[in-house]
Amino acid sequence: MKKGIIIITLLTIISCTTVNLSIGETYSIKNGMQKPEKIFLPNSTYANSIDVISKDIVFKIGLNKENKIIFITTNDLNFETNGFKINYTMGKEFNKKGKEQIQGWGQFILLDSGWYAAFDYKDTINENSKIKWFFKFDFSESNAKLKI
């Protein structure tokens, strides 16, 4: 019994390590994988979400009804993009980028990599604010007019 559970777990992890994590890609939820949870998206809607591992980084992906990836997020301490990681500050880059905010959801800055660096929505952010998570989301596809 224990061997069966270990084999299923290993197969699930192995199947997740080759995931193409791109907005718009179809993701197949296989039988026996984790049951999807709900995640609150920047456009004030909910989507099914599951955790996946890609390149030894844990991501949460949001899926639409056709199982296309519509949201990708991570707060994995090993994730790095454009030289930024979780708990890093934006420093001088903060003033070069435009800050965006969705009331009650988060504050974020678009990085050159296409990832957004996100900050706590309750805080006033500045160059010394620490990055809390990263995400990718296609605001043009979501009709998200909520940014202020």
Question: Based on the structure, what is the number of domains in the chain?
Answer: 2
Read off the pTM: 0.78
Mean per-residue pLDDT over the chain, rounded:
79
Do 57 and 7 have their domain in common? yes
Count of beta carbons in the 10 Å neighbourhood of residue 2: 6
Question: Is the residue at 5 inside a domain?
Answer: yes
Look at residue 147 and tell me whether its pLDDT is greater than 70.
no
Backbone angles phi, psi at 47, to 5 degrees: -140, 155
Do 43 and 98 have their domain in common? no
Q: Which DSSP string do the residues of 88-127 spell out, in sequence order?
A: -B-TTHHHHS-EEEETTTEEEEE-TTSPEEEE-TTSPP-T
Q: Which of 39, 72, 105 is where one domain is finished?
A: 72
How many whole angstroms separate alpha carbon 62 and alpha carbon 64? 7
Do 68 and 92 have their domain in common? no
Do 80 and 66 have their domain in common? no
Min mean pLDDT across 19-23, 24-28, 86-90 is at: 19-23
Q: Each residue of 54-83: pLDDT tens digit? A: 889 999 999 998 889 999 999 999 999 989
Question: Is the residue at 110 inside a domain?
Answer: yes
Min mean pLDDT across 41-55, 88-102, 103-117, 122-136 is at: 88-102
Do 89 and 58 have their domain in common? no
- Residue numbers of the domain that contains 59: 1-72
Q: What percentage of the chain exceeds 90 in pLDDT?
A: 39
